[in-house]
Amino acid sequence: MTDAPIDSSIRIQHIADFKPPALSRAWASIPNPNDIPLIATATSDKTVRVYSLKNFTLHSKLEKAHERSVRSVAWQPRIKGNESVMSIATGSFDATMGIWHRREQFGEHGDSRQDETGGDEVAEVEISGFGQSKPHKRMDNSDDDSDESSPEDWEYSIVLEGHDSEIKSVAYSPSGQYLASCSRDKSIWIWEEIGEEGEDEFETVAVLQEHDADVKCVTWRKDDGNGEVLASGSYDDTIRLWRGDDEGEWSSVAVLEGHEGTVWSLQWEPEVSRKAFMQSEGTDNENEYNKPAQRLLSSSADHSIRVWSKAPTPPPPNKPSYFSNAGIPSTMRPGPSMETWVCSATLPTVHTLPVYSISWSPISGRVCSTSSDGRIVVYEEQTKGRTSVGGEIERAWVVIGTIESAHGPYEINHITWCKRFDSGKRRPDEELIITTGDDGAVRAWSLEEVTQNEKTSASDVPSS
């Protein structure tokens, strides 16, 4: 493997598989961002499966719309006043994006109707301790058809066309105002929902074409007072940041170069880790202007995971001369809003094949990653303190847990942190890791803290 520092202080424990699984490759599973205990899985069988996080069983299905693989799925963040409708955007290899709605009443704690009345139809999965889930009753009598006539079905409301080839990734902005899609056609489209609520009218506000090759992933950063920022990763090995100006013109404000392979996945730093960073720097105050910009995490086909930070402006003098405006024609100068970003850290290299997916926990600040090599790796950023008086505080990323062959011999395409909702939950803020693989399986993993004297191999491979 590698000589990466591994401090196995946690054990990654398989607790359940979502049932029934897809029979072919599943691409990604996205938890609902509005505290509803659902997770949506995009699969190569042209559907999206929505599973319950309470009992790891199928809740509903989005189907019969796309002609090819659904590669990507995004939940719309909840918009005030429209809380009885869930909305999902799907991006497909058929080059279209779909918008779906489902009317459903949710209780205070996010219980869906199915969970409340499911007595006859749904056998609750029993969770004993950290045990395995038992087979779901629905598996035997395959009454999925009854769901299809339900008035609470997912309604395929509108198709958004424009891309020339496969859509690789779709993402709602945190405010719900914008929707971004990216494709093998090298472009990123930004859509804005206009008109009255429920009218489903979308307008293309930007088509961004500065990447030299396929755009693999897009992700939005929360508005920090200057608008929402979009990050994109590409087959051209670069990452770009995009921002809209006061006139609504969108442009690239930074190019992040360093990866030596396709950039597969991007994640913005969550608030929890930003706060920890500021505390360690002694700059903990509420003044937004003094806060460092959120960092960006990226994973690549070059097997590495990198952390990017915005360089303070003006750039330090040891930067190459092209960052200074002297001696180059004014038209070549970066615009006033151009930002300089640097790779400020590289996570320990554990993966031996392309790293397809990373996730940065908004609760613990930990990072997890997965790869074609079938591993799950969990990292933590630890503060080492100052090594010299008045020097910079040193921080280091440490591997705190790994597991091999998490989907048997299959590749794993996606990983995400996810709030725990099932009956085995032990703490209010407990998190699970959810992985999605080429075998069609979606697996849930819990983290067990390992005591000092049982620190052995932190692996417990589920038999499949």
Partner 1 sequence: MELDNANPTIVNPSELPSYRERRKIKDESRQKQGIRQLFMGKSSYAIDPFYLSDYSDTDSDDSNVEPIDEQEIYDLIAPITDPEHPFSLASLGVVKLEDVHLGSPTDPTKAAALSHVLVELTPTVTHCSLATVIGLCVRVRLDQALPPSFRVEVKIKSGTHNQSEEVNKQLADKERVAAALENAQLMGVLRNMMKTCLEP
Verify binding: residue 214, partner 1, rule CB under 8 A.
Answer: yes
What is the nearest approach in angstroms of partner 1 to the Cβ of residue 373? 7
Verify binding: residue 299, partner 1, rule CB under 8 A.
Answer: no
> Among 63, 124, 411, 448, which residue sits at the site for partner 1 (rule: CB under 8 A)?
411
Cα–Cα dist 106/86, whole Å:
10
**Which of 74-82, 199-207, 367-375, 428-436 is the region at the interface with partner 1 (rule: CB under 8 A)?**
367-375
Helix (H, G, I), strand (E, B) or coil at 159: strand
Question: How far is residue 86 from each of residues 41, 250, 325, measured CA to CA in Å?
Answer: 15, 28, 49
Verify binding: residue 227, partner 1, rule CB under 8 A.
Answer: no
Smallest CA-to-CA distance from 303 within 230, 377, 365, 240 is with 377
| Type of residue at 240 | R
For 224-231, the CB contacts below 8 A with 24+ separation are: 224/288, 224/291, 224/293, 224/294, 225/288, 228/173, 228/174, 228/175, 228/177, 228/178, 229/253, 230/171, 230/173, 230/178, 230/180, 230/188, 230/190, 231/266, 231/268, 231/296
Verify binding: residue 194, partner 1, rule CB under 8 A.
Answer: no
Which conformational region is residue 158 in: left (phi greater than 0), alpha (psi within -120 to 50 degrees), or beta? beta
The answer for residues whose C-beta is within 8 angstroms of residue 438's C-beta and 6 or more apart is 25, 26, 407, 410, 411, 412, 413
Per-residue DSSP letters for 198-210?
A: TS-EEEEEEEE--
| Residue placing its CB nearer to partner 1 in the complex, 33 or 354 | 354
- Site size for partner 1, by CB under 8 A? 31
What is the nearest approach in angstroms of partner 1 to the Cβ of residue 401? 18
| Residue placing its CB nearer to partner 1 in the complex, 25 or 186 | 25
Q: Pattern of binders to partner 1 over 58-77, x per CB under 8 A?
A: ----------xx-x------
> Among 8, 13, 44, 238, which residue sits at the site for partner 1 (rule: CB under 8 A)?
44
What is the nearest approach in angstroms of partner 1 to the Cβ of residue 408? 5
Verify binding: residue 438, partner 1, rule CB under 8 A.
Answer: yes
CA angle at 201 for the pair 195 and 203, rounded to the nearest 5°: 95
| Residue placing its CB nearer to partner 1 in the complex, 373 or 380 | 373
Instruction: For the segment 102-161, give every residue that binds partner 1 (CB under 8 A).
Output: none
| Type of residue at 434 | I
> Among 252, 262, 299, 436, which residue sits at the site for partner 1 (rule: CB under 8 A)?
262
Verify binding: residue 405, partner 1, rule CB under 8 A.
Answer: yes
Cα–Cα dist 134/227, whole Å:
47
**Which of 110-118, 164-172, 327-335, 390-398 is the region at the interface with partner 1 (rule: CB under 8 A)?**
164-172
| Residue placing its CB nearer to partner 1 in the complex, 53 or 263 | 263
3-state DSSP percent of the chain in helix, strand and coil, to 5: 10, 40, 50
| Residue placing its CB nearer to partner 1 in the complex, 193 or 302 | 302
Largest Cα–Cα distance of the chain, in whole Å?
77
Cα–Cα dist 41/30, whole Å:
6
| Residue placing its CB nearer to partner 1 in the complex, 11 or 184 | 184
| Residue placing its CB nearer to partner 1 in the complex, 245 or 260 | 260
> Both tokens of residue 138?
């629905």
- Residue 122's φ and ψ, nearest 5 degrees, are -120, 120
Q: Pattern of binders to partner 1 over 322-351, x per CB under 8 A?
A: ------------------------------
How many alpha carbons fall within 13 Å on the CB side of residue 422? 28
Q: How many residues does the chain have?
A: 464
> Among 353, 382, 455, 457, which residue sits at the site for partner 1 (rule: CB under 8 A)?
353
Cα–Cα dist 205/179, whole Å:
10
Verify binding: residue 23, partner 1, rule CB under 8 A.
Answer: no
The answer for residues whose C-beta is within 8 angstroms of residue 146's C-beta and 6 or more apart is 121
| Residue placing its CB nearer to partner 1 in the complex, 166 or 422 | 166
What is the nearest approach in angstroms of partner 1 to the Cβ of residue 211? 15
What is the nearest approach in angstroms of partner 1 to the Cβ of residue 183? 11
Helix (H, G, I), strand (E, B) or coil at 223: coil
> Among 21, 258, 374, 440, which residue sits at the site for partner 1 (rule: CB under 8 A)?
374
> Among 317, 336, 409, 428, which residue sits at the site for partner 1 (rule: CB under 8 A)?
409
Q: Pattern of binders to partner 1 over 231-260, x per CB under 8 A?
A: ----x-------------------------
| Residue placing its CB nearer to partner 1 in the complex, 237 or 269 | 237
What residues make contact with partner 1 under the rule CB under 8 A? 25, 44, 68-69, 71, 93, 165-166, 168, 184, 214, 216, 235, 262, 301, 352-354, 356, 372-374, 404-405, 408-411, 438-439, 461
